[in-house]
Amino acid sequence: MPQHIIIDQDVPALAPQYIGQEYFDQNTQKFYKAAGTNSTDWQLLGAGSGGGGANVSIFSGPWINGSIEGPGAYDITADILIYSIGFGGPGLKTVNLPAGLELDKRHSFVIFGRNTYGSAITVQIGTGSNVKWSGGTAPTFPTGNVKVEMLLFTLDGGTQWYGRVLGSY
């Protein structure tokens, strides 16, 4: 299965594997989408209009690099949209979702989880029961340096969360 979102440290130079594939440049925090399958077909997603609108990343806001080494928890906050979390060592790792969000707004987060431990690990998102996963299965982190892309969103201020695994590689 091709990677849905490719994460790297520079502007994309490789050819997309399919139209719609996404690419995130960690250095500049810019997000690209493939409009074709040639290396020149990456389109920078942006906002605004006029002269420089296409050069403004929709993810120009802050994003967080975090980690949980051994058993522990990581708290997601409402003001950060993208998280890259390394999960290392044995024991349960819990990613706590924000509470007390505005009821009349939709809220979503993208988590790039990385298994940096040499064995399979257990990662729990939320309480373990307040996230409904697409396909009914929460993400798994088997042995090795596995990366899992997750999208989480709520429509009711965080009472019920919905999750989707976008890719695992």
Long-range CB pairs of 13-20, under 8 A, 24+ apart, other chains included: 13/39, 14/39, 15/39, 15/41, 16/41, 16/42
d(CA 141, CA 115): 6
Q: Residue length, the chain?
A: 169
Q: Give me the chain's average pLDDT, please.
A: 81
Predicted confidence (pLDDT) per residue in 29-63, tens digit: 777 878 778 888 787 765 333 333 333 334 445 67
Beta bridge partner(s), residue 167: 149
Predicted confidence (pLDDT) per residue in 137-154, tens digit: 889 898 877 889 898 988
Sheet of 82-88, strands arranged across: 63-69, 82-88, 107-115, 147-154, 161-168, 131-133
Q: Hey, what are 118's tokens?
A: 């040499």
Taking the whole predicted model, whether its pTM rises above 0.85 is answered as no
CA distances from 158 to 5, 45, 101, 133, 161 (A): 25, 28, 6, 15, 6
Give residue 169's identity as a one-letter amino acid code: Y
